[in-house]
């Protein structure tokens, strides 16, 4: 999603820059109108266009049976001391809730609703003005006679003018022709479109510039219609200057009076040759092509060289578990803790290559430790899980990134009273109760029936450099174990990702 938003913003910026460099000072206003509208539509849609390009196939992957640092959403598939395991699961639970994402969605929604509220309020103001004021048919439009002193303005086929001025014939014919051009060419449709785009894409600062450019170009079109009718540029320019003191109307309407009158006066006296207009139109073609290449979505399609077809086939890795435990006829696990699903036949070469292509996005063989520690995108993760479930056991064992279900919770293992008494010796044992360091003498306050699980681990030499004892005892009280087991059971169907270290040859995977 972030990639789409960035591409949309940058594409709209590039096309707007091309407009200001090539078209803005050219008197080909109809072309400019079409270009501005298509630029927004092009910027919105081009990131969705997928272009495939081929890459060289990857050699086979030979993993070692050692797990490295985990990507988000993964878990260590080995026994963990009791006082550490609950903390790890607690951290994983907090990471499941992406507060930053929810905050950004909330901010986006609030701002979008504010823009939509302003838009709807303006529409309602126009509706009420049309409803409660006198309406007169005028050519292909309708004149809405209002009591307020405001500049003539147009929305859809309604031209809003002051009732007193119209009754006393103080509305010049050029003014009515200007507004009638807005109505007949449906300029309000462009404004409604850009208002909605701005409401939903307010994060793009260039949309506001598009809106100003579109509305200014509408004025150029209406001015051109008036000049082509009366052929008197000087008189029309004086008429514009005489209207500068009028009160402005709503932003979503096409107005006779704008703060950019100076720009309009300049454009009235300009002409563009046919050759310059043709060159400007042709120059837009490479700009659009560059924008397409830069901002479309590119995917990698694997191309297998004929000479390396045999190398592309992944060779089975030697089994590290007894052959009796490998059941190749096994179709699906009886429970999510037995193993991750796999099939006897495995996946096709094409699916296997697709899996490796996705893996390559997160592996950098140019520098150690070879793994790019960045979160997998959700589409990549879901696609990898789908393919991984269809792999054979041998194919699964060859992948750098694999999936598994969490290990089952520790079973009840109550210590004896004799063991409890032995662990009171601080020279030999360090004691943790419910994940917290405790004094050995604290065991005087407990009986063996107070605990439902214990875990004994011998400290390595490096660990004993900072402590006096040789063994670490992790104890879970009855209540703590009950909560721990419930938490673990709640997660038994959650899919975790693990990472294996690849064996690298010639700096390739």
CA-CA-CA-CA torsion for 345, 348, 354, 359, nearest 10 degrees? Answer: 30
**Total Cβ atoms within 10 A of residue 3:** 11
User: In which band, very low, low, confident or very high, does the pLDDT at 190 lie, cut at 50, 70 and 90?
Assistant: very high
Higher-confidence residue: 340 or 191? 191
Beta pairing, strands 429-433 & 254-255: unpaired
Q: Is it the case that residue 485 has pLDDT exceeding 70? A: yes
Which pLDDT value is given to residue 234?
85
Kindly report the average pLDDT of the chain as a whole number: 78
* DSSP codes joined into one string, 254-306: EES--TTHHHHHHHHT----HHHHHHHHHHHHHHHHHHHHHHSEEEEEEE--G
Arithmetic mean of pLDDT, 429-436? 92
pLDDT digits over 136-183, tens only? Answer: 888 889 999 988 888 888 988 899 988 888 888 888 888 889 889 999
For tokens 């395991």, the residue is 85
Arithmetic mean of pLDDT, 63-75? 41
Q: Is it the case that residue 450 has pLDDT exceeding 90? A: yes
Beta pairing, strands 451-458 & 471-477: antiparallel
**Total Cβ atoms within 10 A of residue 302:** 18
User: In which band, very low, low, confident or very high, does the pLDDT at 40 lie, cut at 50, 70 and 90?
Assistant: very high
* Residues in CB range of 95: below 8 A, 6 or more apart: 72, 73
* Residues in CB range of 141: below 8 A, 6 or more apart: 154, 157, 158, 159, 179, 180, 183, 184
What strands lie across the sheet with 496-503, from one edge to the other?
62-67, 496-503, 401-404
Which pLDDT value is given to residue 312?
43
Q: Is it the case that residue 481 has pLDDT exceeding 90? A: yes
b/e map 263-284, b = 16+ CB within 10 Å: ebeebbeeeeeeeeeeebeeeb
% of the chain at pLDDT higher than 90 = 32
CA distances from 72 to 287, 359, 449 (A): 40, 15, 38
Which pLDDT value is given to residue 369?
56
Beta pairing, strands 141-146 & 153-155: unpaired
Higher-confidence residue: 315 or 491? 491
Q: Is it the case that residue 96 has pLDDT exceeding 60? A: no
pLDDT digits over 320-339, tens only? Answer: 444 333 333 333 344 444 46
Q: Is it the case that residue 306 has pLDDT exceeding 80? A: no
Arithmetic mean of pLDDT, 41-63? 70
Which pLDDT value is given to residue 365?
60
Higher-confidence residue: 30 or 466? 30
Residue pair 81/430 in contact (Cβ under 8 Å)? The answer is no
**286, exposed or middle or buried, with CB in 10 Å at 0-12, 13-18, 19+?**
exposed
To the nearest 10 degrees (0 to 180), the angle between helices 187-200 and 29-45 is 30
Arithmetic mean of pLDDT, 289-308? 70
Residue pair 398/63 in contact (Cβ under 8 Å)? The answer is yes
Determine the 3-state secondary structure of 309 from DSSP.
helix
Residue pair 144/130 in contact (Cβ under 8 Å)? The answer is yes
CA distances from 13 to 3, 31, 36, 99 (A): 15, 19, 12, 31
Residue pair 274/8 in contact (Cβ under 8 Å)? The answer is no
Residue pair 198/237 in contact (Cβ under 8 Å)? The answer is no
**438, exposed or middle or buried, with CB in 10 Å at 0-12, 13-18, 19+?**
middle
Q: Is it the case that residue 418 has pLDDT exceeding 80? A: yes
pLDDT digits over 121-141, tens only? Answer: 989 988 998 888 888 888 889
* Residues in CB range of 311: below 8 A, 6 or more apart: 59, 60
Report how far residue 147's alpha carbon sits from residue 161's, in angstroms, rounded to the nearest whole number. 9
User: In which band, very low, low, confident or very high, does the pLDDT at 258 lie, cut at 50, 70 and 90?
Assistant: low
User: In which band, very low, low, confident or very high, does the pLDDT at 374 lie, cut at 50, 70 and 90?
Assistant: low
Per the document, the length of the chain is 509
* Residues in CB range of 9: below 8 A, 6 or more apart: 203, 204, 205, 206
Arithmetic mean of pLDDT, 251-258? 56
Residue pair 333/339 in contact (Cβ under 8 Å)? The answer is yes
Domain boundaries, the chain: 2-54+276-298, 57-97+314-408+495-503, 100-272, 417-490
Residue pair 395/352 in contact (Cβ under 8 Å)? The answer is yes
Q: Output DSSP code: residue 78.
A: S
Which pLDDT value is given to residue 268?
85
% of the chain at pLDDT higher than 70 = 76
What is the distance of C-alpha 20 from the center of its chain? 30
């Amino acid at each position: 999603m972030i990639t789409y938003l960035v591409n949309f913003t940058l594409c709209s910026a590039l096309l707007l820059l091309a407009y200001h460099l090539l078209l803005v000072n050219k008197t080909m206003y109809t072309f400019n109108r079409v270009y501005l509208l298509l630029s927004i539509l092009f910027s919105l849609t081009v990131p969705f266009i997928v272009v495939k390009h081929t890459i060289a196939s990857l050699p086979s992957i030979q993993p070692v049976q050692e797990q490295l640092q985990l990507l988000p959403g993964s878990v260590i598939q080995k026994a963990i001391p009791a006082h550490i395991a609950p903390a790890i699961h607690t951290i994983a639970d907090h990471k499941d809730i992406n507060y930053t994402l929810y905050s950004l969605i909330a901010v986006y929604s609030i701002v979008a609703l504010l823009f939509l509220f302003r838009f709807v309020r303006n529409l309602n103001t126009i509706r009420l003005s049309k409803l409660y004021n006198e309406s007169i048919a005028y050519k292909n439009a309708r004149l809405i006679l209002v009591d307020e002193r405001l500049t003539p303005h147009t929305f859809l086929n309604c031209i809003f003018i002051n009732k007193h001025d119209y009754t006393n014939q103080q509305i010049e014919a050029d003014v009515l022709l200007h507004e009638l051009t807005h109505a007949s060419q449906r300029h309000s449709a462009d404004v409604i479109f850009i208002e909605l785009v701005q409401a939903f894409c307010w994060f793009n600062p260039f949309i506001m510039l598009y809106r100003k450019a579109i509305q200014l170009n509408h004025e150029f079109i209406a001015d051109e219609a008036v000049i082509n009718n009366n052929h008197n540029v000087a008189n029309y320019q004086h008429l514009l200057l005489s209207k500068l003191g009028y009160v402005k109307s709503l932003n979503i309407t096409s107005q006779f009076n704008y703060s950019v009158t100076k720009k309009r006066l300049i454009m009235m006296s300009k002409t563009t040759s046919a050759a310059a207009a043709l060159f400007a139109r042709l120059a837009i073609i490479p700009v659009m092509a560059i924008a397409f290449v830069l901002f479309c979505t590119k995917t990698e399609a694997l191309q297998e060289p004929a000479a390396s077809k045999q190398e592309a086939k992944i060779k089975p890795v030697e089994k590290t578990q007894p052959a009796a435990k490998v059941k190749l006829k096994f179709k699906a696990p009886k429970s999510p803790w037995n193993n991750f699903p796999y099939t006897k036949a495995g996946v096709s070469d094409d699916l296997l290559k697709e899996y490796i292509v996705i893996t390559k996005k997160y592996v950098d063989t140019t520098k150690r430790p070879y793994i790019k520690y960045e979160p997998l995108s959700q589409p990549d993760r879901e696609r990898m899980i789908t393919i991984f479930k269809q792999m054979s056991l041998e194919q699964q064992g060859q992948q750098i990134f694999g999936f598994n279900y969490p290990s089952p919770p520790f079973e009840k293992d109550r210590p004896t009273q004799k063991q409890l008494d032995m662990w009171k010796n601080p020279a030999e044992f360090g004691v943790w109760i419910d994940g917290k360091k405790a004094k050995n003498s604290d065991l005087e306050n407990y009986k063996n029936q107070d605990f439902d699980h214990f875990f004994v681990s011998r400290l390595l030499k490096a660990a004993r450099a900072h402590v006096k004892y040789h063994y670490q005892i992790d104890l879970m009280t009855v209540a703590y174990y009950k909560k721990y087991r419930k938490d673990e059971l709640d997660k038994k169907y959650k899919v975790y990702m693990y990472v294996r270290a690849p064996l690298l040859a010639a700096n390739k995977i």
